Amino acid sequence: MKNSSFKTKSVREGQHSSNEQEHSTAIFLTSSFRFDTAEQAAERFDSNKGNIYSRFTNPTVESFQNKLAALEGAEKCQATASGMSAIFATIMTILKPGEHMVASRSMFGTTIVLLNNIIAKFGIKVTFVDLPDLDAWKKSVQKNTKLFLLETPSNPLGEVVNIKQLSTISKKNDIILAVDNCIMTPALQRPLSLGADLVLHSATKYIDGQGRCLAGAVAGKGSIIDEISSFTRSTGPTLSAFNAWVVLKGLETLSLRIKEHSESAMKLANWLESQAFVDKVYYIGLQNHPHHETAKKQQTGYGGIVSFEVKGGKKEAFRLINNTKMISITANLGDAKTTITHPSTTTHVRLTDEEKRQSCISENLVRISVGLENIEDIIADLKP
Ligand SMILES: Cc1ncc(COP(=O)(O)O)c(C=O)c1O
Protein backbone atom coordinates (compact mmCIF):
# COMPACT_ATOMS: atom_id res chain seq x y z
CA MET A 1 0.00 0.00 0.00
CA LYS A 2 3.02 2.30 0.52
CA ASN A 3 2.91 3.79 -2.98
CA SER A 4 -0.86 3.75 -3.43
CA SER A 5 -2.84 6.96 -3.77
CA PHE A 6 -4.59 8.58 -0.82
CA LYS A 7 -7.99 7.41 -2.10
CA THR A 8 -6.86 3.79 -2.30
CA LYS A 9 -5.18 3.90 1.10
CA SER A 10 -8.30 5.35 2.71
CA VAL A 11 -10.30 2.35 1.47
CA ARG A 12 -7.73 -0.43 1.81
CA GLU A 13 -5.20 0.38 4.57
CA GLY A 14 -5.51 -0.95 8.12
CA GLN A 15 -7.60 -4.00 7.28
CA HIS A 16 -7.44 -6.59 10.05
CA SER A 17 -8.67 -10.01 9.04
CA SER A 18 -9.67 -12.74 11.47
CA ASN A 19 -9.91 -16.44 10.59
CA GLU A 20 -13.57 -15.88 9.57
CA GLN A 21 -12.39 -14.13 6.37
CA GLU A 22 -14.83 -11.24 6.86
CA HIS A 23 -14.55 -8.54 4.19
CA SER A 24 -15.45 -5.59 6.42
CA THR A 25 -13.22 -5.22 9.50
CA ALA A 26 -14.79 -6.96 12.50
CA ILE A 27 -15.58 -5.19 15.77
CA PHE A 28 -13.69 -6.82 18.63
CA LEU A 29 -16.03 -5.96 21.49
CA THR A 30 -14.02 -7.54 24.23
CA SER A 31 -12.49 -5.99 27.29
CA SER A 32 -9.75 -8.58 27.68
CA PHE A 33 -7.97 -11.28 25.67
CA ARG A 34 -7.56 -14.92 26.70
CA PHE A 35 -4.19 -16.65 26.98
CA ASP A 36 -3.50 -20.30 26.12
CA THR A 37 -1.33 -20.78 29.18
CA ALA A 38 -0.11 -18.95 32.25
CA GLU A 39 3.30 -18.82 30.56
CA GLN A 40 1.83 -17.00 27.55
CA ALA A 41 0.10 -14.50 29.87
CA ALA A 42 3.38 -13.88 31.69
CA GLU A 43 5.25 -13.49 28.39
CA ARG A 44 2.71 -10.95 27.01
CA PHE A 45 2.78 -8.86 30.18
CA ASP A 46 6.57 -8.97 30.17
CA SER A 47 7.11 -8.13 26.49
CA ASN A 48 4.08 -5.82 26.01
CA LYS A 49 3.55 -7.56 22.67
CA GLY A 50 0.16 -9.04 21.71
CA ASN A 51 -3.29 -8.23 23.05
CA ILE A 52 -3.88 -8.21 26.80
CA TYR A 53 -6.66 -5.77 27.61
CA SER A 54 -8.60 -3.25 25.48
CA ARG A 55 -7.38 -0.25 27.46
CA PHE A 56 -3.92 -1.18 26.08
CA THR A 57 -4.63 -2.51 22.57
CA ASN A 58 -7.57 -3.81 20.55
CA PRO A 59 -7.54 -5.11 16.94
CA THR A 60 -10.37 -2.80 15.73
CA VAL A 61 -8.73 0.23 17.32
CA GLU A 62 -5.43 -0.84 15.78
CA SER A 63 -7.04 -1.00 12.31
CA PHE A 64 -8.21 2.59 12.71
CA GLN A 65 -4.79 3.69 14.00
CA ASN A 66 -2.98 2.02 11.09
CA LYS A 67 -5.29 3.53 8.48
CA LEU A 68 -5.04 7.04 9.92
CA ALA A 69 -1.25 6.76 10.29
CA ALA A 70 -0.99 5.75 6.61
CA LEU A 71 -3.18 8.67 5.53
CA GLU A 72 -1.27 11.24 7.60
CA GLY A 73 2.12 9.77 6.61
CA ALA A 74 2.85 9.06 10.28
CA GLU A 75 5.07 6.38 11.80
CA LYS A 76 2.47 5.60 14.44
CA CYS A 77 -0.94 6.67 15.72
CA GLN A 78 -2.67 6.45 19.11
CA ALA A 79 -6.45 6.61 19.12
CA THR A 80 -8.27 8.30 22.00
CA ALA A 81 -11.84 8.55 23.26
CA SER A 82 -12.28 12.10 21.90
CA GLY A 83 -10.40 14.98 20.32
CA MET A 84 -9.99 16.63 23.71
CA SER A 85 -8.38 13.52 25.19
CA ALA A 86 -5.92 13.47 22.27
CA ILE A 87 -4.94 17.07 23.07
CA PHE A 88 -4.78 16.43 26.83
CA ALA A 89 -2.72 13.23 26.46
CA THR A 90 -0.28 15.04 24.16
CA ILE A 91 0.26 17.94 26.56
CA MET A 92 0.58 15.71 29.63
CA THR A 93 3.10 13.48 27.86
CA ILE A 94 5.32 16.24 26.51
CA LEU A 95 5.38 18.74 29.39
CA LYS A 96 6.43 18.58 33.03
CA PRO A 97 5.57 21.08 35.81
CA GLY A 98 7.63 24.25 35.35
CA GLU A 99 7.84 23.84 31.58
CA HIS A 100 6.31 26.08 28.96
CA MET A 101 4.26 25.77 25.80
CA VAL A 102 3.01 28.20 23.16
CA ALA A 103 -0.49 27.95 21.75
CA SER A 104 -2.45 29.78 19.14
CA ARG A 105 -5.13 32.11 20.48
CA SER A 106 -7.66 31.06 17.85
CA MET A 107 -8.31 27.50 18.90
CA PHE A 108 -11.45 25.51 19.69
CA GLY A 109 -13.07 27.02 22.83
CA THR A 110 -12.64 23.90 24.99
CA THR A 111 -8.94 23.71 24.09
CA ILE A 112 -8.53 27.25 25.45
CA VAL A 113 -10.44 26.25 28.61
CA LEU A 114 -8.21 23.15 28.96
CA LEU A 115 -5.08 25.29 28.71
CA ASN A 116 -6.28 28.07 31.02
CA ASN A 117 -8.12 26.08 33.71
CA ILE A 118 -6.66 22.58 33.79
CA ILE A 119 -3.16 22.55 32.34
CA ALA A 120 -2.29 25.61 34.47
CA LYS A 121 -3.05 23.52 37.63
CA PHE A 122 -0.14 21.20 36.74
CA GLY A 123 2.32 24.10 36.79
CA ILE A 124 2.63 24.26 33.00
CA LYS A 125 2.83 27.78 31.64
CA VAL A 126 1.10 28.72 28.38
CA THR A 127 1.75 31.75 26.17
CA PHE A 128 -0.91 32.56 23.58
CA VAL A 129 0.01 34.10 20.23
CA ASP A 130 -1.81 35.13 17.06
CA LEU A 131 -1.82 32.06 14.82
CA PRO A 132 -0.39 33.56 11.59
CA ASP A 133 2.23 35.77 13.31
CA LEU A 134 5.50 33.82 12.92
CA ASP A 135 7.42 36.55 14.69
CA ALA A 136 5.19 36.20 17.75
CA TRP A 137 5.84 32.41 17.86
CA LYS A 138 9.59 33.09 17.63
CA LYS A 139 9.56 35.77 20.36
CA SER A 140 7.50 33.61 22.72
CA VAL A 141 10.14 30.85 22.87
CA GLN A 142 11.71 30.41 26.32
CA LYS A 143 14.52 28.12 27.47
CA ASN A 144 11.96 25.63 28.78
CA THR A 145 9.48 25.74 25.85
CA LYS A 146 8.61 22.18 24.81
CA LEU A 147 5.49 22.41 22.67
CA PHE A 148 3.87 24.55 19.95
CA LEU A 149 0.15 23.73 19.70
CA LEU A 150 -2.18 25.07 17.04
CA GLU A 151 -5.09 24.50 14.70
CA THR A 152 -4.72 25.52 11.08
CA PRO A 153 -7.07 26.55 9.65
CA SER A 154 -8.70 27.68 12.84
CA ASN A 155 -12.33 27.14 13.71
CA PRO A 156 -14.52 29.19 13.12
CA LEU A 157 -12.61 31.97 11.30
CA GLY A 158 -10.22 30.01 9.11
CA GLU A 159 -6.98 31.71 10.16
CA VAL A 160 -3.92 29.94 8.77
CA VAL A 161 -0.23 29.71 9.69
CA ASN A 162 2.52 28.62 7.32
CA ILE A 163 3.35 25.24 8.87
CA LYS A 164 6.68 24.84 7.04
CA GLN A 165 7.99 28.21 8.23
CA LEU A 166 6.77 27.61 11.77
CA SER A 167 8.49 24.22 11.80
CA THR A 168 11.86 25.86 11.10
CA ILE A 169 11.39 27.84 14.34
CA SER A 170 10.27 24.77 16.32
CA LYS A 171 13.09 22.57 15.00
CA LYS A 172 15.75 25.20 15.71
CA ASN A 173 14.60 25.37 19.33
CA ASP A 174 13.98 21.63 19.85
CA ILE A 175 10.25 22.19 20.33
CA ILE A 176 7.57 19.67 19.34
CA LEU A 177 5.14 21.12 16.81
CA ALA A 178 1.61 19.67 17.13
CA VAL A 179 -1.09 20.59 14.60
CA ASP A 180 -4.81 19.95 15.13
CA ASN A 181 -5.85 18.85 11.61
CA CYS A 182 -9.50 18.32 12.42
CA ILE A 183 -10.89 20.92 10.01
CA MET A 184 -8.83 19.86 6.96
CA THR A 185 -8.32 16.12 7.59
CA PRO A 186 -5.42 14.37 5.81
CA ALA A 187 -7.51 14.50 2.62
CA LEU A 188 -6.72 18.23 2.31
CA GLN A 189 -3.60 18.83 4.43
CA ARG A 190 -0.77 16.69 5.77
CA PRO A 191 1.04 18.67 8.48
CA LEU A 192 3.73 16.00 9.03
CA SER A 193 4.92 16.40 5.45
CA LEU A 194 5.22 20.15 6.11
CA GLY A 195 7.47 19.70 9.16
CA ALA A 196 5.08 19.13 12.07
CA ASP A 197 5.99 16.40 14.59
CA LEU A 198 2.47 15.46 15.63
CA VAL A 199 -0.97 15.73 14.12
CA LEU A 200 -4.06 15.76 16.32
CA HIS A 201 -7.63 14.86 15.45
CA SER A 202 -11.12 15.10 16.72
CA ALA A 203 -12.28 12.13 14.63
CA THR A 204 -15.76 13.05 15.89
CA LYS A 205 -15.87 15.51 12.99
CA TYR A 206 -15.09 14.77 9.32
CA ILE A 207 -13.39 11.42 9.95
CA ASP A 208 -16.65 9.94 11.22
CA GLY A 209 -18.49 12.34 8.93
CA GLN A 210 -21.99 11.39 10.05
CA GLY A 211 -22.15 12.71 13.62
CA ARG A 212 -22.40 9.27 15.22
CA CYS A 213 -19.73 9.07 17.89
CA LEU A 214 -16.80 10.73 19.68
CA ALA A 215 -13.25 9.75 18.79
CA GLY A 216 -9.78 11.26 18.66
CA ALA A 217 -6.24 10.48 17.63
CA VAL A 218 -2.67 11.67 17.68
CA ALA A 219 -0.22 10.56 15.00
CA GLY A 220 3.43 11.25 14.25
CA LYS A 221 6.91 10.24 15.34
CA GLY A 222 6.96 6.70 16.72
CA SER A 223 8.98 7.57 19.83
CA ILE A 224 6.54 10.31 20.91
CA ILE A 225 3.46 8.20 20.12
CA ASP A 226 4.90 5.36 22.25
CA GLU A 227 5.07 7.75 25.21
CA ILE A 228 1.53 9.01 24.54
CA SER A 229 0.32 5.38 24.36
CA SER A 230 1.83 4.64 27.73
CA PHE A 231 0.01 7.71 29.10
CA THR A 232 -3.37 6.60 27.66
CA ARG A 233 -3.01 2.99 28.81
CA SER A 234 -2.37 4.11 32.38
CA THR A 235 -4.93 6.92 32.52
CA GLY A 236 -7.70 5.35 30.43
CA PRO A 237 -8.89 7.71 27.64
CA THR A 238 -8.58 4.98 25.01
CA LEU A 239 -11.02 4.59 22.13
CA SER A 240 -13.76 1.94 22.33
CA ALA A 241 -13.70 -0.80 19.68
CA PHE A 242 -17.18 0.15 18.53
CA ASN A 243 -16.31 3.82 17.99
CA ALA A 244 -13.04 2.79 16.32
CA TRP A 245 -15.07 0.75 13.82
CA VAL A 246 -17.37 3.72 13.11
CA VAL A 247 -14.48 6.10 12.38
CA LEU A 248 -12.58 3.42 10.45
CA LYS A 249 -15.60 3.10 8.14
CA GLY A 250 -15.81 6.90 7.97
CA LEU A 251 -12.25 7.10 6.65
CA GLU A 252 -13.18 4.86 3.70
CA THR A 253 -15.40 7.62 2.23
CA LEU A 254 -13.44 10.66 3.45
CA SER A 255 -12.02 11.75 0.06
CA LEU A 256 -15.40 11.83 -1.64
CA ARG A 257 -17.14 13.58 1.23
CA ILE A 258 -14.54 16.29 1.77
CA LYS A 259 -14.58 17.17 -1.94
CA GLU A 260 -18.35 17.68 -1.83
CA HIS A 261 -18.19 19.62 1.49
CA SER A 262 -15.55 21.92 -0.04
CA GLU A 263 -17.40 22.53 -3.31
CA SER A 264 -20.67 23.35 -1.54
CA ALA A 265 -18.91 25.58 1.02
CA MET A 266 -17.36 27.59 -1.81
CA LYS A 267 -20.79 28.07 -3.40
CA LEU A 268 -22.31 29.10 -0.06
CA ALA A 269 -19.48 31.56 0.67
CA ASN A 270 -19.93 33.19 -2.76
CA TRP A 271 -23.69 33.44 -2.23
CA LEU A 272 -23.30 34.92 1.27
CA GLU A 273 -20.92 37.56 -0.08
CA SER A 274 -23.68 38.89 -2.32
CA GLN A 275 -26.31 39.10 0.44
CA ALA A 276 -27.44 42.38 1.99
CA PHE A 277 -27.94 40.79 5.45
CA VAL A 278 -24.25 39.76 5.63
CA ASP A 279 -21.48 42.06 6.83
CA LYS A 280 -18.44 39.82 6.33
CA VAL A 281 -17.75 36.26 5.16
CA TYR A 282 -14.88 34.13 6.50
CA TYR A 283 -13.99 31.28 4.14
CA ILE A 284 -10.37 30.48 3.28
CA GLY A 285 -11.39 29.46 -0.23
CA LEU A 286 -12.32 33.08 -0.98
CA GLN A 287 -9.50 35.04 -2.56
CA ASN A 288 -10.23 37.99 -0.26
CA HIS A 289 -9.59 35.90 2.88
CA PRO A 290 -6.33 37.28 4.33
CA HIS A 291 -4.82 33.79 4.58
CA HIS A 292 -6.02 32.42 1.25
CA GLU A 293 -2.56 32.45 -0.35
CA THR A 294 -0.89 30.61 2.56
CA ALA A 295 -3.75 28.09 2.61
CA LYS A 296 -3.35 27.50 -1.13
CA LYS A 297 0.31 26.57 -0.62
CA GLN A 298 -0.24 23.93 2.05
CA GLN A 299 -3.79 22.67 1.51
CA THR A 300 -5.30 20.91 -1.47
CA GLY A 301 -8.79 22.27 -0.74
CA TYR A 302 -10.57 24.58 1.70
CA GLY A 303 -13.05 22.37 3.57
CA GLY A 304 -16.62 22.83 4.70
CA ILE A 305 -16.59 25.55 7.38
CA VAL A 306 -18.06 28.92 6.44
CA SER A 307 -18.51 31.67 9.01
CA PHE A 308 -20.08 35.07 8.57
CA GLU A 309 -21.10 38.17 10.47
CA VAL A 310 -24.71 39.21 10.02
CA LYS A 311 -25.64 42.89 9.97
CA GLY A 312 -26.59 43.79 13.54
CA GLY A 313 -25.74 41.84 16.68
CA LYS A 314 -26.71 38.77 18.67
CA LYS A 315 -30.46 39.35 18.11
CA GLU A 316 -30.06 39.30 14.31
CA ALA A 317 -27.73 36.28 14.45
CA PHE A 318 -30.26 34.36 16.60
CA ARG A 319 -33.11 35.38 14.25
CA LEU A 320 -31.23 33.99 11.24
CA ILE A 321 -30.44 30.72 13.06
CA ASN A 322 -34.03 30.33 14.28
CA ASN A 323 -35.38 30.98 10.76
CA THR A 324 -33.74 27.83 9.35
CA LYS A 325 -36.02 24.83 8.86
CA MET A 326 -33.74 22.09 7.48
CA ILE A 327 -30.30 23.04 8.81
CA SER A 328 -29.64 21.61 12.30
CA ILE A 329 -28.95 23.99 15.17
CA THR A 330 -26.10 22.12 16.80
CA ALA A 331 -22.51 22.88 17.72
CA ASN A 332 -21.03 19.82 16.00
CA LEU A 333 -19.31 20.10 12.64
CA GLY A 334 -18.14 17.78 9.88
CA ASP A 335 -21.50 16.01 9.66
CA ALA A 336 -23.30 14.94 6.46
CA LYS A 337 -26.08 17.22 7.74
CA THR A 338 -25.48 20.98 7.53
CA THR A 339 -25.22 22.51 10.99
CA ILE A 340 -25.45 26.09 12.21
CA THR A 341 -24.20 27.60 15.46
CA HIS A 342 -23.56 30.90 17.23
CA PRO A 343 -19.94 30.45 18.46
CA SER A 344 -20.04 33.25 21.04
CA THR A 345 -22.82 31.54 23.06
CA THR A 346 -21.95 27.89 22.31
CA THR A 347 -18.48 26.59 21.32
CA HIS A 348 -16.69 29.67 22.71
CA VAL A 349 -19.06 30.54 25.58
CA ARG A 350 -16.48 29.80 28.31
CA LEU A 351 -14.06 32.40 26.94
CA THR A 352 -13.95 35.75 28.72
CA ASP A 353 -15.12 38.82 26.80
CA GLU A 354 -11.46 39.81 26.34
CA GLU A 355 -10.54 36.35 25.00
CA LYS A 356 -13.51 36.50 22.60
CA ARG A 357 -12.42 39.95 21.44
CA GLN A 358 -8.85 38.74 20.86
CA SER A 359 -10.12 35.72 18.92
CA CYS A 360 -12.63 37.85 16.90
CA ILE A 361 -15.60 35.81 18.16
CA SER A 362 -18.18 38.55 17.82
CA GLU A 363 -21.85 38.57 18.84
CA ASN A 364 -22.98 38.68 15.19
CA LEU A 365 -20.82 35.74 14.06
CA VAL A 366 -22.55 32.60 12.75
CA ARG A 367 -20.76 29.38 11.77
CA ILE A 368 -22.02 26.89 9.23
CA SER A 369 -20.62 23.43 8.70
CA VAL A 370 -21.74 22.75 5.16
CA GLY A 371 -23.14 19.24 4.80
CA LEU A 372 -23.85 16.93 1.89
CA GLU A 373 -27.39 18.06 1.07
CA ASN A 374 -27.99 19.82 -2.27
CA ILE A 375 -26.38 23.26 -1.96
CA GLU A 376 -29.48 24.94 -3.43
CA ASP A 377 -31.53 23.59 -0.51
CA ILE A 378 -28.93 24.82 2.00
CA ILE A 379 -28.98 28.30 0.45
CA ALA A 380 -32.80 28.35 0.34
CA ASP A 381 -32.90 27.61 4.08
CA LEU A 382 -30.69 30.63 4.83
CA LYS A 383 -32.65 33.16 2.81
CA PRO A 384 -34.12 35.83 5.11
C1 LIG B 1 -10.63 21.85 16.04
C2 LIG B 1 -11.17 20.99 17.14
N3 LIG B 1 -10.29 20.29 17.91
C4 LIG B 1 -10.73 19.50 18.92
C5 LIG B 1 -12.07 19.37 19.21
C6 LIG B 1 -12.49 18.48 20.35
O7 LIG B 1 -12.95 17.28 19.86
P8 LIG B 1 -13.95 16.28 20.66
O9 LIG B 1 -15.26 16.96 20.72
O10 LIG B 1 -13.94 15.05 19.82
O11 LIG B 1 -13.37 16.07 22.01
C12 LIG B 1 -13.00 20.05 18.43
C13 LIG B 1 -14.45 19.89 18.73
O14 LIG B 1 -15.31 20.53 18.19
C15 LIG B 1 -12.54 20.88 17.37
O16 LIG B 1 -13.41 21.57 16.60
Q: Within a domain: residue 352? A: yes
User: Does residue 182 have its Cβ closer than 6 Å to ligand 1?
Assistant: yes
83: CA distance to ligand 1 center in Å?
5
pTM for this entry: 0.96
pLDDT for the residue 279:
97
83 lines ligand 1 (CB under 6 A): yes
Residue 347 Cα to ligand 1 middle (Å): 10
Last residue of a domain, one of 230, 252, 274: 252
Residues in Cβ contact with 345 at an 8 Å cutoff, skipping those fewer than 6 apart = 314
pLDDT of residue 17: 84
pLDDT at site 18? 87
Range of the domain at 308: 254-382
| Residue 136 and residue 47 in one domain | yes
Does the residue 1 lie in any domain?
A: no
Same domain, 65 and 148: yes
Give the CATH number of the domain where residue 292 resides.
Answer: 3.90.1150.10
Supply the pLDDT for residue 15: 82
Atom of ligand 1 nearest to the CA of 214: 10
Query: Is 151 close to ligand 1, i.e. is its CB under 6 Å away?
Result: yes
Up-side HSE of residue 35: CA atoms within 13 Å toward CB? Answer: 14
Q: What is the pLDDT of residue 350?
A: 83
Residues lower than pLDDT 50 in the chain: none
Verify that 141 and 287 share a domain, yes or no.
no
216 lines ligand 1 (CB under 6 A): yes
How many whole angstroms from 201 Cα to the centroid of ligand 1?
Answer: 8
Number of domains making up the chain: 2
Distance, CA 33 to ligand 1 centroid (Å)? Answer: 31
SS (HEC) of the chain: CCCCCHHHHHHHCCCCCCCCCCCCCCCCCCCECCCCCHHHHHHHHHHCCCCCECCCCCHHHHHHHHHHHHHHCCCEEEEECCHHHHHHHHHHHHCCCCCEEEEECCCCHHHHHHHHHHHHHHCCEEEEECCCCHHHHHHCCCCCEEEEEEECCCCCCCCCCCHHHHHHHHHHCCCEEEEECCCCCCCCCCHHHHCCCEEEEECCCCCCCCCCCCCEEEEECHHHHHHHHHHHHHHCCCCCHHHHHHHHHHHHCHHHHHHHHHHHHHHHHHHHHCCCCEEEEECCCCCCCCCHHHHHHHCCCCCCEEEEEECCCHHHHHHHHHHCCCCEECCCCCCCCCEEECHHHCCCCCCCHHHHHHCCCCCCEEEEECCCCCHHHHHHHHCC
Per-residue model confidence as pLDDT tens digits over 146-163? 999 999 999 899 999 999
Are 306 and 296 members of one domain?
yes
CA atoms within 13 A on the CB side of 11: 8
Indicate whether 38 belongs to any domain: yes
- Among 232, 252, 272, identify where a domain stops: 252
pLDDT of 16:
82
User: What is residue 48's predicted lDDT score, i.e. its pLDDT?
Assistant: 83
Residue bearing the CA closest to ligand 1, atom 2: 108
Q: CA nearest 58: which of 79, 36, 87? A: 79
